[in-house]
């Protein structure tokens, strides 16, 4: 796993500033009024901070922007950063400021002069999230990311506030690492092995093999993987941090590589299908996060790990498969495989655990990218309270999400001549008909959300909190949902 940057906290010591190596960062409010650390730095650097604050560059800078002063005189540091941040900013503004600071600083060591800023922990959270780099398969690993020293008026309080954020960041990094891995490394077996390691944090992990899945009747899930040499698996991760209440369930699509099967995808861009296990990656990251911070809630995570390959044994367009629920599905397109995996997982989660609520995640449709781009995941739900709670959590954590419509009018697009339903409904409303398909495997009394994360799980361009590639989207929002709605 990619290691988090090393962060330490100590009480502000103005006498150490001159000798600090690496980079120095100081917070300056929009008013330009300098705090104690900034005043000391201004004297040491012969007024350079005051001149920078009075410049048009600082005036035009937005909240959270970082102004860089290279090779400042009077101090040992190579760079001095001015972070424009109000004393009473939001957690999101502070988090983004920290992320911007990490981006410009790179892998140099950093001393952050935070004084008594009340959102210091959020600044450090942003620093941590944006310091990620996936280098596992690089010959040149480069220098390890530099350590961060945070000087604050009340360092123990800041460190205490940061502790749960750090636990969540561990979950985000876990998700990113899984999603970035190539498919010849992250096979279904390797994926399962990495999830078993969560038992060291107190998560009860159970791996169901193909014989177990056959016995349970998970035929739609198994049908996806019959063309692959990699065995299909289901991994159940159970965190029992609450009392005797039923758990909240998270369900993830884990297609470690998706060729499309017999309905094979175009060659151009197929290499990106290593990220088609992104939903399972998020579930794994959330389970790691809640276990690392010892969440006082009962949460079960279930992921279906399969590989969709063309082969003489692979399922064909026109095949009819029977789900664990007992409904029959006519497979029109073998590239609409994720919903077949989730259908059995959703039913199994309800039958075995009787969850108080359930959210599934999947890189399910290209249609959601057409509709929402790469800014928002699509949110589909049968329950307004759960949908609203998730959207609130996502907004708090600055993870884009947008609720999409559902309704019985879309069901006619899934009608099959020879089976209970088809697995696709055509181009029109493709992400919605996929959600309608999944809804058939959700019991009427179970609050449920489907998150289509195809546009946000892995992105070619960098985002506010991540470099190009896997984002870890959803780990923070779901951890927040659990903390706000299901703990205590």
Instruction: Tell me how far apart the 2 most distant CA atoms of the chain are, in Å.
Output: 82
Active-site positions read: 265, 339
Length of the chain, in residues: 488
Q: Which positions ≥6 away from 163 have C-beta within 8 Å?
A: 293
- Contact yes or no for 116/87 (Cβ under 8 A): no
CA distance linking residue 324 with residue 304, whole number of Å = 14
What is the spatial order of strands in the sheet that 328-330 belongs to? 320-322, 328-330, 421-422
- The torsion angles phi and psi of 472, rounded to 5 degrees, stand at 75, 15
What are the DSSP calls for 24-36, one per residue? Answer: EEEEE-TT----H
Contact by Cβ (8 Å): 292, 170: yes
Residue 378 DSSP symbol: E
The DSSP code for 248 is: E
Element (H, E) at 382: none
Measured between alpha carbons, how far is 129 from 398 in angstroms, rounded to an integer?
13
The answer for 175, left when phi > 0, alpha when psi is -120 to 50, beta otherwise, is alpha
Instruction: Give dist(CA 32, CA 54) in Å, integer.
Output: 8
Supply angle C-alpha 157, 102, 51, rounded to 5. Answer: 90
Partners of 284 in the beta sheet?
none
| 158: its two tokens | 């800041």
Taking the C-alpha atoms of residue 124 and residue 249, their distance in angstroms, rounded to an integer, is 30
List, in order, residues 6 or more apart from 84 with CB less than 8 Å away: 28, 29, 30, 58, 61, 62, 63, 64, 65, 66, 67, 97
Is-contact 96 464, C-beta < 8 A? yes
Phi, psi (deg, nearest 5) at residue 233: -145, 155
Residue 204 neighbours by CB distance under 10 Å: 12
Single out the residue of 414, 408, 409, 403 nearest to residue 380, CA to CA: 403
CA distance 459 to 468: 6
By 3-state DSSP, what share of the chain in percent is helix, strand and coil, each rounded to 5?
Answer: 40, 20, 40
Q: Which pair of structure tokens corresponds to residue 90?
A: 């939001």
Give the Cα-Cα-Cα angle 40, 44, 45 (nearest 5 degrees).
115
């Amino acid at each position: 796993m990619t290691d988090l940057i090393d962060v330490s906290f100590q009480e502000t010591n103005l006498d150490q500033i001159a000798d600090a190596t690496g980079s120095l960062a100081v917070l300056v409010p929009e008013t330009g009024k300098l705090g104690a650390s900034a005043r000391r730095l201004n004297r040491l650097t012969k007024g350079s901070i005051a001149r920078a604050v009075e410049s048009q560059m600082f005036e035009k800078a937005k909240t959270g922007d970082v102004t860089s002063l290279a090779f400042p005189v009077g101090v040992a540091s190579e760079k001095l950063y001015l972070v424009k941040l109000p004393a009473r900013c939001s957690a999101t503004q502070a988090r983004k400021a920290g992320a911007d600071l990490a981006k410009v600083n790179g892998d140099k060591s950093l001393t952050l002069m935070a004084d008594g800023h009340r959102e210091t922990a959020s600044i450090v959270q942003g620093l941590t999230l944006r310091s990620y780099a996936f280098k596992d398969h690089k010959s040149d690993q480069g220098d390890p990311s530099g350590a961060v020293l945070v000087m604050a008026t009340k360092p123990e309080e800041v460190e205490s506030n940061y502790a749960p954020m750090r636990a969540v960041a561990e979950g985000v990094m876990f998700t990113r690492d899984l999603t970035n891995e190539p498919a010849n490394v992250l096979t279904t077996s390797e994926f399962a092995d990495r999830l078993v390691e969560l038992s060291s944090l107190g998560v009860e992990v159970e791996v169901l093999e193909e014989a177990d899945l056959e016995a349970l009747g998970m035929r739609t899930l198994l049908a996806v993987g019959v063309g692959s040499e990699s065995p299909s698996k289901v991994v159940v991760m159970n965190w029992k941090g609450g009392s005797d209440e039923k758990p909240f369930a998270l369900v993830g699509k884990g297609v470690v590589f998706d060729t499309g099967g017999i309905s094979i995808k175009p060659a151009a861009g197929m290499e990106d299908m290593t990220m088609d296990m992104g939903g399972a990656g998020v579930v794994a990251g959330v389970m790691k996060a809640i276990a690392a911070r010892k969440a006082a809630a009962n949460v079960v995570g279930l992921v279906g790990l399969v590989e969709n390959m063309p082969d003489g044994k692979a399922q064909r367009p026109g095949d009819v498969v029977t789900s664990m629920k007992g409904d029959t599905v006519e497979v029109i397109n073998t590239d609409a495989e994720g919903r077949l995996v989730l259908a059995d997982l959703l039913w199994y989660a309800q039958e075995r655990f009787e969850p108080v609520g359930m959210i599934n995640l999947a890189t399910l449709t290209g249609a959601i990218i057409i509709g929402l781009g790469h800014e928002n995941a699509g949110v589909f739900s049968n329950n307004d309270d759960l949908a609203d709670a998730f959207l609130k959590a996502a907004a708090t954590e600055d993870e884009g999400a947008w609720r999409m419509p559902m309704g019985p009018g879309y069901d006619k697009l899934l009608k099959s001549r020879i089976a209970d339903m088809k697995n696709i409904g055509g181009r029109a409303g493709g992400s919605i008909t996929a959600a309608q398909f999944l809804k058939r495997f959700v019991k009427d009394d179970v609050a449920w959300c489907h998150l289509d994360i195809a546009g946000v799980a892995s992105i070619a361009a960098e985002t506010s909190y991540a470099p190009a590639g896997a984002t870890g989207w959803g780990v923070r929002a779901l951890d927040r949902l659990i903390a706000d709605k299901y703990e205590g």
